Structure 1
Amino acid sequence: MGKDPFAPLAEAYEAWYETSLGAFAIAEEEKALKALLPPGESLLEVGAGTGYWLRRLP
Protein backbone atom coordinates (compact mmCIF):
# COMPACT_ATOMS: atom_id res chain seq x y z
CA MET A 1 0.00 0.00 0.00
CA GLY A 2 1.29 3.47 -0.88
CA LYS A 3 1.84 6.52 1.24
CA ASP A 4 -1.15 8.44 2.52
CA PRO A 5 -1.26 11.61 0.39
CA PHE A 6 -3.23 13.47 3.06
CA ALA A 7 -0.87 12.75 5.98
CA PRO A 8 1.06 16.03 5.55
CA LEU A 9 -2.22 17.97 5.79
CA ALA A 10 -3.53 16.35 8.98
CA GLU A 11 -1.75 18.68 11.42
CA ALA A 12 -2.98 21.83 9.66
CA TYR A 13 -6.49 20.37 9.37
CA GLU A 14 -6.73 19.75 13.11
CA ALA A 15 -5.05 23.07 13.98
CA TRP A 16 -7.91 24.87 12.20
CA TYR A 17 -10.26 23.66 14.94
CA GLU A 18 -8.17 25.64 17.44
CA THR A 19 -8.93 28.92 15.66
CA SER A 20 -11.96 30.96 16.74
CA LEU A 21 -13.85 30.10 13.54
CA GLY A 22 -12.91 26.43 13.77
CA ALA A 23 -13.92 26.21 17.43
CA PHE A 24 -17.27 27.84 16.63
CA ALA A 25 -17.88 25.51 13.67
CA ILE A 26 -17.06 22.33 15.57
CA ALA A 27 -19.18 23.40 18.56
CA GLU A 28 -22.19 24.05 16.31
CA GLU A 29 -21.66 20.76 14.45
CA GLU A 30 -21.38 18.88 17.74
CA LYS A 31 -24.61 20.44 19.07
CA ALA A 32 -26.46 19.52 15.88
CA LEU A 33 -25.15 15.97 15.87
CA LYS A 34 -25.96 15.39 19.54
CA ALA A 35 -29.49 16.71 18.94
CA LEU A 36 -29.97 14.13 16.17
CA LEU A 37 -28.57 11.14 18.04
CA PRO A 38 -30.89 9.54 20.57
CA PRO A 39 -29.25 9.00 23.99
CA GLY A 40 -27.37 5.73 24.18
CA GLU A 41 -27.16 5.24 20.42
CA SER A 42 -23.92 4.41 18.68
CA LEU A 43 -22.28 6.40 15.92
CA LEU A 44 -20.26 4.94 13.08
CA GLU A 45 -17.84 7.36 11.50
CA VAL A 46 -16.79 6.35 7.99
CA GLY A 47 -14.13 8.20 6.04
CA ALA A 48 -13.23 10.00 9.22
CA GLY A 49 -9.99 11.57 8.12
CA THR A 50 -8.00 12.30 11.26
CA GLY A 51 -10.64 10.95 13.63
CA TYR A 52 -11.21 14.37 15.18
CA TRP A 53 -14.87 13.59 15.88
CA LEU A 54 -14.08 10.32 17.57
CA ARG A 55 -12.10 12.16 20.23
CA ARG A 56 -14.97 14.59 20.89
CA LEU A 57 -17.84 12.13 21.18
CA PRO A 58 -18.14 9.27 23.65
Structure 2
Amino acid sequence: MAIGDILVDVQAVAKHYGDGETRVDALRQVDLQVRAGEVIALLGPSGLARRRF
Protein backbone atom coordinates (compact mmCIF):
# COMPACT_ATOMS: atom_id res chain seq x y z
CA MET A 1 0.00 0.00 0.00
CA ALA A 2 1.38 3.38 -1.02
CA ILE A 3 0.50 6.86 0.19
CA GLY A 4 -2.49 8.00 -1.84
CA ASP A 5 -3.92 4.53 -2.51
CA ILE A 6 -7.70 4.46 -1.99
CA LEU A 7 -8.58 2.49 1.16
CA VAL A 8 -12.30 3.33 1.41
CA ASP A 9 -14.57 4.28 -1.48
CA VAL A 10 -18.31 4.61 -0.82
CA GLN A 11 -20.86 6.21 -3.11
CA ALA A 12 -24.45 7.38 -2.74
CA VAL A 13 -24.80 6.28 0.90
CA ALA A 14 -28.16 7.15 2.45
CA LYS A 15 -29.62 6.58 5.92
CA HIS A 16 -32.88 7.78 7.44
CA TYR A 17 -34.76 7.30 10.70
CA GLY A 18 -38.55 7.18 11.00
CA ASP A 19 -41.16 7.48 8.28
CA GLY A 20 -43.62 10.04 6.99
CA GLU A 21 -43.69 13.34 8.88
CA THR A 22 -41.20 12.06 11.48
CA ARG A 23 -38.61 10.96 8.92
CA VAL A 24 -35.13 12.38 9.46
CA ASP A 25 -32.52 12.00 6.72
CA ALA A 26 -29.20 11.44 8.50
CA LEU A 27 -27.28 10.95 5.21
CA ARG A 28 -28.35 11.88 1.68
CA GLN A 29 -26.34 10.51 -1.24
CA VAL A 30 -22.95 10.84 0.50
CA ASP A 31 -19.78 10.00 -1.44
CA LEU A 32 -16.50 9.46 0.41
CA GLN A 33 -12.97 8.38 -0.49
CA VAL A 34 -10.25 7.88 2.11
CA ARG A 35 -6.70 7.47 0.88
CA ALA A 36 -3.69 5.95 2.63
CA GLY A 37 -1.93 8.59 4.70
CA GLU A 38 -5.05 10.73 5.20
CA VAL A 39 -6.50 11.53 8.59
CA ILE A 40 -10.27 11.99 8.83
CA ALA A 41 -12.70 12.87 11.62
CA LEU A 42 -16.45 12.28 11.79
CA LEU A 43 -18.20 14.74 14.05
CA GLY A 44 -21.71 14.86 15.43
CA PRO A 45 -23.75 15.69 18.49
CA SER A 46 -22.85 14.26 21.87
CA GLY A 47 -24.20 10.72 22.25
CA LEU A 48 -24.28 10.02 18.52
CA ALA A 49 -21.75 7.19 18.89
CA ARG A 50 -24.36 5.18 20.79
CA ARG A 51 -26.67 5.11 17.74
CA ARG A 52 -26.48 1.95 15.68
CA PHE A 53 -27.20 1.74 11.94
The normalised TM-score by structure 1 is 0.27
Larger Rg: 2
Name the structure where helix makes up a greater proportion of residues. 1
Normalising by structure 2, what TM-score? 0.28
Higher strand residue share = 2
